[in-house]
Amino acid sequence: MQTNPLKRVNSDQKQEKPVISLFTATCIVVASMIGTGVFTSLGYQVTDIKSGFALLALWIVGGIFALCGALSYGELGAVMPRSGGEYHYLSKIYHPALGFLSGWLSVTVGFAAPIAAAAMAFENYLSPILPFFPPPTLALAVVIAISLIHIKNLKIGSSFQNIFTLGKGVLIFALIACGFFIAEPQTISFLPSGKDLNLILSAPFAISLVFVTYSYSGWNASIYIANEVKDPEKNVPLSLLAGTMIVMIIYLLLNFIFLYTTPISELEGKQEIGYIAATYIFGPSGGKLMSILISFGLISSISSMVWAGPRVTQVIGEDIPFFKLLAVKNSSGIPYYAVLLQLAISVCLVITSTFDAVVTYLGFTLTLSSFLTVLGVFIHRIKYPEIPRPYKTWGYPVTPLIFLAISVWILIFTFIGKPVESIAGLGTIFIGIIVYFFASRKQLAYSSSEISRKN
């Protein structure tokens, strides 16, 4: 009987005692979500959409999308509580090849691209204050520094994550409160009009939703570190749900404040939305101070992705002998080479890519991966009806169907509106197929030589 060539290695490897609490896991979800997108993407949305109601509807639809995804992922995270995320789920539900392709996307772009985008936004916010640093010096420095922190020690990385996430929360609520009570309101209306329905069903709305779903990306962050979470069957689903709901409320309030305090003409086509809005709220000096604070708030987003991403790479290394080097841990239990690989890819993206191209490319590829994962909730229930499920998707089957429908809508309109970035995403998948079969043949050759040697 032929066995799968990509069999698991190091299955008897000793697991470290889980040290991440529900609070920290929720912080990772919140920090992963509240990052670059909400402080940058509105400028791209108002280029084609001028309605206050339709703009807020974007963030409501994006929030529903993320919440339905979190509810669905929670079931898979509870029944398969192992680090690795989509790679682990798709390997078990469909086939190791499909799982590898999802993991390949996570390794090559899923975390490295948002890290690069957040680092570029960090530099855009900080460079007006520190103009003597040539680009992309600040972006590269923050990525390298945070990666070195997470290589050092898991507890140090956890404390670093919690401190910067809480600091970001205080900053955001201060900005929202001051926007309500200090700023002079604009004339924009947030009530629906007769044209809004057609606008919501239009291609510009769907393409803008790519930027919004990018802003919400990270709602699944805690599944990637499930091995390190205490009581993962309970705490992984709870962290997904709590984190996503908190962020949805924050995003609606933040975007309301941006539109309430700042003329749309000033936001159009701009990336530094937080800085522009803060200038209208606090004046030029206050705007510069807020720009510094926002740039440091992005650190927690970069940190959460630097933490989570290598755990996917590590699991691939544990399962596929060809990549076993990526499963090697240092004395502190950190997947050392996986962190360094992610750092190298992030640095390349910072140097070579633009922000909007990275976001569109990332949005298309990850939407495709999450679509297959949520579809896997249905398939897993059919294939394994007898398996105990500590958590079941709330609202099943409606909530996963909503997620799947919005995903298809995004994929179709993104491919039509942004074909170059979409084809680049499909090209990345094609390269992953080649790598998978190359690794398969290597392992088959290795297994055959071992059998011959023993005979």
- What's the token pair of residue 61? 């639809």
- For the chain, what percentages of helix, strand and coil (3-state, to nearest 5) are there? 75, 0, 25
Beta bridge partners of 229: 20
- Cα of first residue to Cα of last residue in the chain, in angstroms, is 18
Can you tell me the distance from the alpha carbon of 347 to that of 50, in angstroms, rounded to the nearest whole number?
36
Helix (H, G, I), strand (E, B) or coil at 453: helix
pLDDT at 362: 67
| Residue linked to tokens 């084809």 | 423
pLDDT at 344: 92
Can you tell me the distance from the alpha carbon of 304 to that of 26, in angstroms, rounded to the nearest whole number?
11
Q: 217 near 114, Cβ under 8 Å? A: yes
Map out the domains of the chain with their CATH numbers. Answer: 22-447 (1.20.1740.10)
AA letter at 349: L
Can you tell me the distance from the alpha carbon of 404 to that of 411, in angstroms, rounded to the nearest whole number?
11
pLDDT at 15: 46
pTM listed for this prediction: 0.75
Can you tell me the distance from the alpha carbon of 297 to that of 217, in angstroms, rounded to the nearest whole number?
17
Q: 50 near 189, Cβ under 8 Å? A: no
Can you tell me the distance from the alpha carbon of 363 to that of 161, in angstroms, rounded to the nearest whole number?
25
- pLDDT tens for the chain, 455 residues: list them: 444 434 433 433 444 566 788 888 888 888 778 876 787 788 888 888 888 899 999 999 999 999 999 889 888 988 887 777 788 889 889 988 888 888 888 777 778 888 888 888 888 878 878 888 888 899 999 999 999 888 877 778 878 888 887 887 888 888 889 888 888 888 888 888 878 888 888 878 877 887 788 788 778 888 877 777 888 888 888 888 899 999 999 999 999 999 999 998 888 878 778 888 888 888 887 777 777 777 877 888 888 888 888 888 888 888 877 788 888 888 878 888 989 999 998 998 888 866 566 666 666 777 888 899 999 999 999 999 988 888 889 889 999 999 999 889 888 877 887 787 778 778 888 888 888 888 777 654 444 344 344 44
269: left (phi over 0), alpha (psi -120 to 50) or beta: left
Beta bridge partners of 20: 229
Helix (H, G, I), strand (E, B) or coil at 388: coil
